[in-house]
Structure 1
Amino acid sequence: MQHQISVITLGVADLARSRRFYGDGFGWTPVFENPEIVFYQMNGLMLGTWLAGALADDLGRPVAAAPGLVSLAHNVPAQTDVAPVIERLCASGGTLVMAPSAPPHGGFRGYVADPDGHAWEIAWNPDWPISPEGHVRFG
């Protein structure tokens, strides 16, 4: 398995306020945005800011379960890679948070918590190609 983090997703209370901070403060330009989420292309990974309630719903956890709600993601090259990675992580001390499934926004994903409860999304997204070096790119 490649050593990579594909996406860091931060749960935010106010998407417009967050966009001002990252857009005006850092000067970052979104590569995608909708009413719930904004993605920024970073050096080889994606940073997402997602309304905390929507992220909590996707994780199947209450917002209060994690102040400063964060989800780390490890993207895989094929949909069929999602379940085996989740199984390996659970066998290595992780806890299944959500079984692999197809979310309404597309792709395929499941969630595993590390031994300290940090959520990892194991995901396949057909619109995010992965280079041979393991860099994920938006569309």
Structure 2
Amino acid sequence: MGPLPARLSVVTLAARDIRVLLSFYRALGWPELPSSDDGWSAFLLGGVLFALYPLPDLAAEAAPGVSDSAGGWSGVTLACNVDSRAEVDAAFAAAVAAGATVVAEPTDRSWGGRSAYIADPEGNRWEIAWAGTARFDERGALISFG
């Protein structure tokens, strides 16, 4: 496996009203993580974490300086979680070397992990992240988070 694993770990939606979205996804009966709250919520769906994060907070990380009206960011991020804190930096460097645009350099996050953001050639945002609570099976599918 190369420095950036072929792995989709998390899809995050930027929530304009997280309480409304939480109510909707809870009503579907999806398995919500116990660590969810009104500031961040997630559902483990078949090996991928589906997360909701307030729009201003996600925009600050994934699209700094881009306004909603600019059309430069969809409000959706994809994430590839790696197995260690140090792997964030190596995977980030590999993605940039492959032609990704730097959005946010690797940094330690307030939630205890480390992550960086890149954009692919069409501007789609990817977070390269390490979270100490993420667990994967032998195929790289996310089996638990938190």
Q: What is the alpha-carbon distance in structure 2 between the residues aligned to residue 68 and residue 97 of structure 1?
A: 14
Alpha-carbon offset, residue 130 of structure 1 = 2.1
% identical equivalent positions: 29
Q: Which amino acid aligns with 1:16?
A: R
Q: What is the alpha-carbon distance in structure 2 between the residues aligned to residue 33 and residue 4 of structure 1?
A: 23
The equivalent of 1:120 in structure 2 is: 126
CA contact (8 A) 1:36 1:51 kept: yes
Matched, 1:74 2:77: no
Q: What is the alpha-carbon distance in structure 2 between the residues aligned to residue 130 and residue 78 of structure 1?
A: 12
Alpha-carbon offset, residue 97 of structure 1 = 0.7
Detail structure 1 runs of 4+ shifted over 4 Å in the superposition. Answer: 65-68
TM alignment of 1:3-82, pairs within 5 A: 3-24=6-27, 26-31=28-33, 32-61=35-64, 62-64=66-68, 65=70, 66=72, 68-82=74-88
* Number of residue-to-residue matches in the alignment: 138
Report the RMSD for the aligned CA atoms in angstroms. 1.6
TM-score normalised by L of structure 2: 0.87
Alpha-carbon offset, residue 34 of structure 1 = 2.1
Q: What is the alpha-carbon distance in structure 1 between the residues aligned to residue 8 and residue 60 of structure 2?
A: 22
Q: What is the alpha-carbon distance in structure 2 between the residues aligned to residue 89 and residue 45 of structure 1?
A: 21
Q: What is the alpha-carbon distance in structure 2 between the residues aligned to residue 114 and residue 68 of structure 1?
A: 13
Alpha-carbon offset, residue 11 of structure 1 = 0.3
TM-score normalised by L of structure 1: 0.91
Deviates more, 1:99-108 or 1:57-66: 57-66
The equivalent of 2:90 in structure 1 is: 84
- Quickly say closer, same or farther: Cα 1:67–1:88, change in 2 above 3 A: closer
CA contact (8 A) 1:10 1:48 kept: yes
CA contact (8 A) 1:12 1:68 kept: no
